[in-house]
Amino acid sequence: MKKLKIIFATLFIALSLLGCTKQEGLQNLTASEFQTTLKSAEPGQILDVRTSDEYAHGHIKGAVLADISSNLFQEAAAKLDKSKVVYVYCLSGGRSSAAATQLQEMGFKSIVNLSGGMLAWQSANLPISTSEGVSAPSSGMTLADFDKQLQGKKLVIVDYNATWCGPCKQLSPVLEAWVKAQNGKVELIKIDVDANQELAKAKQIESIPYLEFYINGKLANKQTGMGEAKAMTEKWTQILL
């Protein structure tokens, strides 16, 4: 019995160490935690892996543009000090998670990823900088503007998306086909979160694709992310019809 206890204890320790090793060197922090750790960040070690347009519309002070969809990411990463902490973020966390994985493969030992990206940062009312020489962009639709769009409409689906968002592009044709099949009973409103940052902030949107379902102007349900087409359309029917 004593030998069995020793064996189980050894296995438990080994599994615990294995679990710790899997996430070693990578931290996923909330917006407030991310901001706190940035106080000790080295110059040039903060990477904004979004596009140049997204970066110009507002970024975290001190961040270097490193668009992961272009050669900029590799170029920016090559200039970093692998012995120091590197910070990464995007709009909602998807691209920065991919960037963090690449950085680990490149030999970086300490990486901090912003969970929820700039959407979470904005929802937490944290400061945003704009590129030198770029005028402050329009914040787009306000919450009051949004409410006006719902007035007098019985059944509405609001699709919050972005041009760079892969899952949004996958969801769009499924959503549009289902709305069309309802023969005018349901209206679809599509909102780009990049162009309507004030609204995204007011609604505390931290991940896209994100859908809202309204009945007579009242929020009836929500959906975050992309699911299996048949299951989604069945759920939409159940919610609105």
Topology match between the domains 25-123 and 143-240? no
> CATH for 143-240, among 3.40.30.10, 2.40.50.110, 2.40.50.140, 3.30.70.260?
3.40.30.10
Question: Active site includes 20?
Answer: no
**What are the extents of the domains in the chain?**
25-123, 143-240
Write the pLDDT tens digit of every residue in 205-240. 989 999 999 999 999 999 999 999 999 999 999 999
d(CA 56, CA 62) in angstroms, rounded, equals: 13
Task: Determine which one of 26, 156, 165, 208 is catalytic.
Answer: 165
- The pLDDT of residue 133 is 41
**Three-state SS at 38:** helix
Task: Determine which one of 100, 168, 199, 200 is catalytic.
Answer: 168
Q: How far is CA 112 from the centre of its chain?
A: 15
pTM of the model: 0.64
- The pLDDT of residue 24 is 66
Spans of the chain below 70 pLDDT: 1-24, 131-139
List the beta bridge partners of residue 219: 214
49 closest CA partner among 111, 110, 107, 141: 111
Q: Which amino acid belongs to residue 141?
A: M
The sign of the dihedral angle between the CA atoms of 99, 104, 107, 109 is positive
Match 């990049």 to its residue by tokens.
Answer: 194
Count the residues in the chain. Answer: 241
**Class of 25-123 per CATH?**
alpha beta
- The pLDDT of residue 118 is 94
Q: Which amino acid belongs to residue 233?
A: T
Cβ atoms within 10 Å, residue 9: 10
Question: Active site includes 90?
Answer: no
Q: Are 114 and 48 in contact (CB under 8 A)?
A: no
